[in-house]
Structure 1
Amino acid sequence: MRLTRRRALAAATAGLGLLAGCTGDDAGETDDETEPTGPATTTATTASPETATSPDTTATPTPTESPTPTSEPASDDGSDPLVTMESVAFSPMRLSVESETTVTWENREALRHNVRAASLDDAAADWSFQSETVGRDGRVTYRFDDPGVYQYDCGVHGSKAMCGVVVVGDANYDGTLPCE
C-alpha cells in the first residue's frame, strides 16, 4: 500500500511540473497570476494595422470549426466571428472576414494563452498586436479594418504549436501555416 501511494504522489508531481511548463511565456518563465474569476477581455480597434485599446462587451458566441477559411459569424445573433483557444490550438485556424470586422478569440481551457501578430511567411501583412495573457474564459478582440493577410500565434506556446490567419477583404492566402 505504501509503494502505491508513493507512485501516485510521484505521478501527480510530474503532471503538475508538465502543466506548469505550459503556462509560462516565451522565455520559459511561469505565470504566477491566479486564474481570473470572470472573463478577461483585451480589446484592440484600429483604422489601420496599428492598435488602440478600448473596452468591449459582446454576447457569448458559439465556436465555428473549419479547416478552410470561413466568413460566417460565430454566433446565432450575428456578432463577432469567434476563434477558440482550446487543446493548444486556434479553431478555426483560418478565418476570412470583411473589412471593418472585429474578431474575438476566447480561451476555452485552463492553459493560459495570448494572441500576437506574426509574420509566418511573405504573405503576412505588417501589423503590430500582442494581447495580454488570458486564462479560461478570457477574451481578446481585434478589429481588422484594412484588407490583407494577418497571421498570428500564441506567444506562450509559439507558432509551431499554435498559429492562425485572418484573411481580410479580397485578400487571398494559400500558404501553409507552421502549425498545420
Structure 2
Amino acid sequence: MKYTPEKVYWVILVVILGTFITVAGCTGTASVSPSTPTTTASTPAPVTGAVTVNIQNFAFSPASITISHGTTVTWVNQDSVNHQILNDAAGTFAEGALFSSDSLLNGKGYSFTFDTPGTYPYHCSIHPYMKGTVIVT
C-alpha cells in the first residue's frame, strides 16, 4: 500500500478526532452532594453607636448600612474633589431634606443621628450617580 500525503492527512485527522471524542466522553460531570449542610448569608445585625461611611473613588463605602435608631453616621470625604451628602427625599435641592451636608472638602466629614426607623436613600448632590442607603431599625 502506497502512503500518499492525502492518506496520511486523513489518518492523522481520524486519530485526532477519535482522541477528542474519547476524552470528551470521559469528562462528564457527576452530581456530588456536600458533606456539610450549606448556609445562606444572613442579614448583619444593626450597628449601634457610631458608623463611618467613607467617600472614596466617587462611591460611598459601604453603600448600604443597617443601624439601630439613635446611631450616628459620619460620612468622611477621602476623595480629592468635593462631595455633598443629600437624602433623596429632598430631590435635587437641600430644601426639605432630613439630612444635608455642606460641600465636603478632602478629609472633612458630616454626621447625622438617625432617631426614626426607616429606609433613607441618599446621594451626592454634586455627583448624583453616587448613591447610598441607611436602613434604621
Note whether the superposition's TM-score is higher than 0.5. yes
Greater share of residues in strand = 2
1:106/1:134 CA distance change after superposition, 3 Å: same
Q: Which protein shows a greater Rg? A: 2
2:87 to 89, 103, 117: 117
The aligned counterpart of 2:102 is 132
State the superposition RMSD in angstroms.
2.3
Correspondence 1:97 to 2:44: no
Q: Distance in 1 between matches of 2:114 and 2:68?
A: 8
- Extract structure 1 runs of 4+ deviating beyond 4 A: none
Give the unaligned 5+ runs of structure 1: 1-67, 74-78, 120-125, 170-180
Greater share of residues in helix = 2
* TM-score, with length taken from structure 2: 0.59
* TM-score, with length taken from structure 1: 0.46
Contact 1:107/1:139 (CA < 8 Å) preserved in 2? Answer: yes
Contact 1:107/1:136 (CA < 8 Å) preserved in 2? Answer: yes
Contact 2:84/2:103 (CA < 8 Å) preserved in 1? Answer: yes
Question: What percentage of aligned pairs have identical amino acids?
Answer: 31
1:144/1:157 CA distance change after superposition, 3 Å: same
The aligned counterpart of 1:165 is 133
Report Cα offsets for 1:52-103 as digits up to 9, x if no partner.
Answer: xxxxxxxxxxxxxxxx867447xxxxx6101000000001000000011100
The count of corresponding residues between Structure 1 and Structure 2 is: 90
